Amino acid sequence: MTITLTQQTQKLLEEQMRKGHFATADDAVRTAFEALQQVRGDDIEDLDEQTQAALERAFAQSERDEGRPWEQVRQELKAKYLSK
Helices (H) and strands (E) in the chain, counts: 4, 0
The answer to whether the beta carbons of residues 61 and 67 sit under 8 Å apart is yes
Task: Indicate the DSSP class of residue 20.
Answer: T
Q: What is the pTM of this model?
A: 0.46
The answer to whether the beta carbons of residues 43 and 49 sit under 8 Å apart is no
The percent of residues above 70 in pLDDT, for the chain, comes to 96
Nearest Cα to Cα of residue 57 among 69, 46, 44, 75? 44
Structure confidence at residue 84 (pLDDT): 63
Residue 2 banded pLDDT, cuts 50, 70, 90:
confident
Of 10-19, 42-51, 55-64, give the range with the top mean pLDDT. 10-19
Residue 14 banded pLDDT, cuts 50, 70, 90:
very high
pLDDT in tens, 23-59: 999 999 889 888 877 777 667 777 889 988 888 888 8
The answer to whether the beta carbons of residues 22 and 33 sit under 8 Å apart is no
Q: How far apart are the first and last CA of the chain?
A: 59
